[in-house]
Amino acid sequence: TYLNDFWEKGRSDGEEQSGEQQQQQQQRASPARPSFGKKQLPSIPKNAVPVTKPASPAATAQLANGTHASYGPFYLEYSLLAEFTLVIKQKLPGIYVQPSYKSALMWFGVIFIRHGLYQDGVFKFTVYIPDNYPDGECPRVVFDIPVFHPLVDPVSGELDVRRAFTKWRRNHNHIWQVLMYARTVFYKINTMEPLNPEAAVLYDKDVQLFKSKVVDSVKLCNSHLFDQPKMDDPYAISFSSWNPAIHDEAKERMFTHKRRPEDHQKGLQVSGLSWVKPGSTQPFSKDDNPPQS
Amino acid sequence: MMASMVANGNRDGRQGEALVLKGVDPETCMIVFKNHWAQVVKILEKHDPLRSNTSSNMASAVQNYVEHMLFLLMEEDAGQAGAMGPILEFVVMENVMERLFLWSLRRQFTDDMKLEQLKMYEMIVGQARQPLLHHKPVLRPLMMLLSSCSGTAGPEVEAELVSLLNQLCCVLAKDQSVLELFFHTSEDQGAANFLIFSLLIPFIHREGLVGQQARDALLLIMSLSAENQRVAQHIAENTYFCPVLATGLSGLYSSLPTKLEVPGEEWHCLHREDWLQMPTLVQFLNSLEFCNAVIQVAHPSIRDQLVSYIYNGFLVPVLAPALHKLTLEEVMTTTAYLDLFVRSVSEPILLQTFLSFILLHRHENVHILDTLVSRINTPFQLGTVSLALFQTLIGLYCEDVMLQLILRYLIPCNHMMLSQRRVVKERDFYSVSAAKILALTPSCCSPEHSPPPLRQLDSILWSKGTDNSPNTGPLPPPLCKEEQEEHCQSPIYLDVNYLHYLYNARLGISSCTRACQVWSAPYDGEDPPPEEYQPSALEEAGARGRQAQTVNPKRSHPHPRPRPPCPPQTTDPAPTNQLELEWDDSYDAGPVVSPEAATAESSRPPQPPAAEPPKHIQEMRRTAIMLVKGSYIEESDFQDDVMVYDLVAKKDEDHFKVSSLQEKDEVPLSNGLSLPLHPTNMEVNSSEVIKGSKEVKAHVEDHNSNLQSPLATEVGDDLMDQYEELIRTLGSDEAGTGGSSPVKTVDKEFRNPVVTPMEEDEVDFSSFSVDTPELEKQHLSLFGTKLRSGSTKSHSVPFTGPFVSVLLSRLENMLDNSLHVNLLLTGILAQLAAYPQPLLQSFLLNTNMVFQPSVRSLYQVLASLKNQIEQQASTKKDFPELITSAQHCLLARESSLKGQDTNSGDSRECSPPEAGRMMKSSPPPQPKTISLARTEVFATVLFTEFLKELAAIAQEHSILSHVPMEE
């Protein structure tokens, strides 16, 4: 099983490098939702014909609310981008997420379980973030296929996240914590107030049966790995089997491109100046001559 | 025919000749050559020019033969294995060239003959197919010819000489083995060593082609010096190359106009179009560019020497006084020049030289930087030009500059409440600061009030992503109630203009962040550690540092030459002891400093300092008075800096009072540096500047350090103490002036938005649980205030530095500033805000930060501006209409600026556009013409845009500054 090219790359460079596939998609469906790394805003040339169609009554109504109404979406968007940069920073083991193309409020994810009862499980999930974030409820995590687990709803696939985040507090709670929690659940099984009572009871009473059920569930999930993504979104995570024509080169680049993203654009390199000796705050305190650039 | 060909230097003619010769076998050529030579020798022997009068016929006959011979020589191929061809061998054996040269020397050696000979050599050196210069019989007469041309000669000869020298340098650059020969031949002659080089020096500063060729040739030698120690050593130790180059700058500078005729009020810096119109400035820039190039390619010893001469021979003795001339126009002009120079220099070491001059040099005991900063506040064009200079400086991404301007005042973190230190590095997850900044948008400018062409709305797909959400869907998104059924995919309308700001902010921050990777510290409130740089410690260290700088100002400008003559800093380009010079009186350093200026400088009697306050003080006084008379003074919190200037001026008026206060002859300055006005000390300083010789200097420096060490301890007196002292003494004067304008009252609530409205009694302590981290902060800060005000009151009035104060003061006056001043101001502030250093970022953009009550923040100033604007809007009926006109006008201006690079100076009236692209696409609702004199209207529009710009920067910081750089 190999990860899809574009997905792996998206992760490997943190944000900057998106695979060709992704880029094509971006071009095709241009402005609205840029990927994170290329967070470039839709290019609307200044000389473009401005949209002159009259604002819909709804839009006008929103604008009347003052600056917050006008800029609110920007604040939300940037809050979510900030959350995403935090996730990247955390380097959560075995967890990968990607905001969807359509909305910053919906993130696609996949989690790899590397040991324990759920070893070898690869579970795709979606994170739904309330649109009054960060002042609303905690984000929801829904598995594509309901994993057999005491805290996962056997019908909807939703993980009981709320028990860990009874009240979502801005500045205090972050989405990476939710992801972290989603991972922990598979290593430390909790059977209190389960969403899947059957699983809870089995775990407490008949671990062997529980284990075999889990193995079946993992098998089931993995057998659907190559299915089309549940959601029709350009940034949905999709898996495909190894195709040397596509993946070899991508893999190659992944391992060679450990450099900083900005090294790619040598032409734009702007070099600052400093003659301050580290540990000093005196200008021109460096003993040696200034570095030649 | 051939003669004319040579005389005209016609190379195309040679092609024909070459073709003719192609078929001819070498033996025939040799025979012809020998033949010609025999004829020539006959004439030479018969007609010794000293005895008989050589007829011009004979001369031209010789000329004719010679030219033909030279063609043959040129066209000859080298023999096998690099051996000489037969003709060349013959030339060497018979010493043909030298005999020819001597013959012409014995005749009247007129310019024409020199020209002839030079052309001859230029031709064979440039076109021969085998190396000729390796052979002494060729090289020696060439050298003799060159030295004979070094005297006074006509412009034609000079041009030809330089052209030949240039060619020789090209040969040198290709074939270094010739270099040795050049040195050796010179030794044979007992003349100076590296003749070619020395001959070029006088042409360094020439204008036109000659100068260019000479500089190109010199550059070739410079890059040679980087690899060849001997050349480097020779140039550094035995030539006057560096002093000539550096003092030449002084000379050229003195011929620049001392007052610029500025095209209009809007003008603030010398653009290319401007200086191309000024030949003297072009010439200066050529020479500066040459210095830059030399520093880039030359050997470090030459480089260091040159840099040192530029510092001590141009910047200190010429530019520093020029920055302190008496009239505003002159000072403004110098400032514009300085700005242009800094922009023209690219080589880091040269830039460092300029920057250390600006940042560290003291003229009449005041740092140049302080003087420049204080001038920002002059309401004349000088203020604008000074702003432009700082825009340039900030744009360098130079740590040293930012340290001196701002960071060193922020490092101690005294500008914020103690509890806030941990907030410095915190990121603004939810764009809270951006929201607070945008919330200051004046109601008359809020997005919904602008008509379509001004408010570029575009539909942005903003879906909630709820389409496939299972079971419990989120709340119906408020933004698209209408289309709830359709799973909420409706576009909403956003301000496209703001997207541009975000995009630009991203570009600006990323390039700044990248540039700052070479900095020594992150400036995040932890590194450098604030504890180590508390005012007292800082000042001591600063005093020590300054002392070190004073004692050994040459530390970064080494003086490697053991016995350099002093850089002839002023008039006389030809030192008196000509005998020692390797090039003679042809030394031409270009235009020179006027003798009057020089004598004035050196012969000025050491004035008792009390007699007349130093110029900068006078100027500050002027500034301060203007400010007092102007509107600034009405702002109660203006005291920080401008008051200080005012005070300085007042203090200065009564010098004795100062003396009694300070017990020393020191005048405190706003930046906390004291001015030791010790007469002896001053005298020593000026003599140091004037005398250049190292011995003298070393002596003086010794002297200096003795003098200064006792003073230095006093200099170490706490900056804040002096500052406070000033404030206190002023307090009584000031108490009366504070009228209660309505603006001020409204203003108050913005001063300390968090602390003030909250009475301590009202604080609900139960709320300070982990659940409410923000409130907790507030609480701590309240506590912090009390604590600090109790214990450290006497010590420090927090001060964020004169630069920030002056910027904010000017910004505060935004409604009265002209459009271009505001453009510059907001530009600089935006530039500063893009810096990624958390200290700077938190100070400028973090609206949650709780500062010390005496510290004015950007947000406070913006808030007070908003109030002023709202007031204006409420009292003037036609305000909204005017706003619309101004918006159209600015839009038109922007598109016309984009269309044409230069802006025409005439822009008193701002009329509706004809070329505005945006306007074309949608019919504008008849914008009225609005005069630029309505500054408050333009300022309002600009203010609104500035808020967006700042908010966008704040938003981008919340993401960019936290993206891990490496993965």
The reply to whether residue B468 touches residue A172, judged by beta carbons under 8 angstroms, is no
Tokens representing residue B651 in the block: 């203090």
The tokens 């004692």 sit on which residue? B551
Report the pLDDT value the prediction gives residue B966, as an integer from 0 to 100: 40
What DSSP element (H or E) covers B2? helix B2-7
B404 contact partners, CB below 8 Å, separation of at least 6:
A283, B359, B369
**Over residues B819-832, mean pLDDT:** 95
- Smallest CA-to-CA distance from B17 within B77, B75, B91, B86 is with B75
* Residues in B touching A136 (Cβ below 8 Å): 474-475
**Over residues B45-70, mean pLDDT:** 76
In the predicted structure, residue B822 carries a pLDDT above the cut 80: yes
The reply to whether residue A284 touches residue B521, judged by beta carbons under 8 angstroms, is no
Cβ-Cβ contacts under 8 Å between A and B: the total is: 275
Contact B404/A at CB under 8 A: yes
pLDDT 10s digits, B70-110:
888 888 887 777 788 888 888 888 888 888 888 877 777 77
In the predicted structure, residue A157 carries a pLDDT above the cut 60: yes
φ/ψ bin of B525: left (φ > 0), alpha (ψ from -120 to 50), beta (otherwise): left
Report the pLDDT value the prediction gives residue B550, as an integer from 0 to 100: 38
In the predicted structure, residue B684 carries a pLDDT above the cut 90: no
Three-class SS state of B494: strand
Task: Indicate the pLDDT class of residue A55, thresholds 50, 70 and 90.
Answer: very low
Q: What pTM, to 2 d.p., does this model score?
A: 0.70
B44 contact partners, CB below 8 Å, separation of at least 6:
B62, B99, B103
**Over residues A185-198, mean pLDDT:** 93
Three-class SS state of B189: helix
Contact A166/B at CB under 8 A: no
Report the pLDDT value the prediction gives residue A260, as an integer from 0 to 100: 52
The CA-based angle A146-A152-A156, given to 5 degrees, is 50
A193 contact partners, CB below 8 Å, separation of at least 6:
A160, A163
Q: Looking at this protein, which amino acid is placed at residue B956? A: E
Task: Indicate the pLDDT class of residue B615, thresholds 50, 70 and 90.
Answer: low
C-alpha B143/C-alpha A270 separation (Å) is 47
C-alpha B267/C-alpha B277 separation (Å) is 15
Tokens representing residue B590 in the block: 């270009």
Pick from B458-472, B633-647, B914-928: least confident:
B633-647
Contact A19/B at CB under 8 A: no
In the predicted structure, residue B901 carries a pLDDT above the cut 50: no
B312, B257 contact by CB (below 8 A): no
Q: Looking at this protein, which amino acid is placed at residue B693? A: S
Task: Work out the minimum CA distance from A128 to partner chain B, whole angstroms.
Answer: 8
Report the pLDDT value the prediction gives residue B579, as an integer from 0 to 100: 31
Task: Work out the minimum CA distance from B642 to partner chain A, whole angstroms.
Answer: 26
- Smallest CA-to-CA distance from B840 within B961, B748, B719 is with B961
Report the pLDDT value the prediction gives residue A200, as an integer from 0 to 100: 95
* Residues in A touching B434 (Cβ below 8 Å): 71, 74-75, 78
Contact B554/A at CB under 8 A: no
**Over residues B392-414, mean pLDDT:** 94
Task: Work out the minimum CA distance from A36 to partner chain B, whole angstroms.
Answer: 10
Q: How large is the C-alpha radius of gyration of chain A?
A: 23
Residue from the list B397, B494, B502 with its beta carbon closest to the beta carbon of A272: B397
**Over residues B531-547, mean pLDDT:** 58
**Over residues B239-267, mean pLDDT:** 89
Answer with the residue of higher pLDDT: B243 or B128.
B243
Q: Where are the beta strands (DSSP E) in B418-516?
A: 457-461, 491-495
* Residues in B touching A98 (Cβ below 8 Å): none
Tokens representing residue B123 in the block: 């031709």
Tokens representing residue B30 in the block: 């040799």
How far is residue A270 from each of residues B401, B654, B699, B738, B939, measured CA to CA in Å?
17, 50, 43, 48, 32
- Smallest CA-to-CA distance from B672 within B854, B788, B798 is with B798
Pick from A71-85, A258-272, B106-120, B233-247: least confident:
A258-272
* Residues in A touching B300 (Cβ below 8 Å): 289
pLDDT 10s digits, B841-854:
999 999 988 898 88
The CA-based angle A181-A184-A188, given to 5 degrees, is 135
A126, A182 contact by CB (below 8 A): no
Q: Where are the beta strands (DSSP E) in B844-955?
A: 909-910, 930-931
Question: Which residues 354-393 in chain B show a CB within 8 A of chain A?
Answer: 355-356, 359-360
In a mutational test of the B interface, the residue from A15, A62, A78 whose CB has the highest number of chain B CBs within 10 Å is A78
B813, B632 contact by CB (below 8 A): yes
* Residues in A touching B468 (Cβ below 8 Å): 230-231
pLDDT 10s digits, A240-281:
989 998 899 888 888 876 655 544 444 445 689 999 999 888
C-alpha B532/C-alpha B130 separation (Å) is 70
What is the spatial order of strands in the sheet that A122-128 belongs to?
Answer: A95-99, A106-112, A122-128, A140-143, A158-159
Burial class (CB in 10 A: 0-12, 13-18, 19+), B472: exposed
Contact B484/A at CB under 8 A: no
Mean pLDDT of chain B: 70
The reply to whether residue A273 touches residue B460, judged by beta carbons under 8 angstroms, is no
**Over residues B300-310, mean pLDDT:** 94
C-alpha A276/C-alpha A285 separation (Å) is 5
C-alpha B867/C-alpha B746 separation (Å) is 7
Share of chain B above pLDDT 90, in %: 31
pLDDT 10s digits, B686-711:
333 333 333 333 343 343 333 333 33
Question: Which residues 748-777 in chain B show a CB within 8 A of chain A?
Answer: 770-771, 773-774
Q: State the complex-level ipTM.
A: 0.77
**Over residues B849-872, mean pLDDT:** 93
Can the peptide bond before residue B528 be classed as cis, meaning omega within 30 degrees of 0?
yes
Mean pLDDT of chain A: 76
C-alpha B960/C-alpha B967 separation (Å) is 15
Report the pLDDT value the prediction gives residue A32, as an integer from 0 to 100: 37
The reply to whether residue B518 touches residue A142, judged by beta carbons under 8 angstroms, is no
**Over residues B375-392, mean pLDDT:** 92
In the predicted structure, residue B419 carries a pLDDT above the cut 70: yes
C-alpha B488/C-alpha B466 separation (Å) is 8
**Over residues A113-132, mean pLDDT:** 94
Task: Indicate the pLDDT class of residue B679, thresholds 50, 70 and 90.
Answer: very low
* Residues in A touching B510 (Cβ below 8 Å): 262
Burial A264-277 (b: 16+ CB within 10 A, else e): eeeeeeeebbbbbe
Task: Work out the minimum CA distance from A208 to partner chain B, whole angstroms.
Answer: 32
Sign of CA dihedral B800, B804, B809, B811: negative
Report the pLDDT value the prediction gives residue B724, as an integer from 0 to 100: 47
The reply to whether residue A13 touches residue B465, judged by beta carbons under 8 angstroms, is no
Task: Indicate the pLDDT class of residue B944, thresholds 50, 70 and 90.
Answer: very high
The reply to whether residue A89 touches residue B466, judged by beta carbons under 8 angstroms, is no
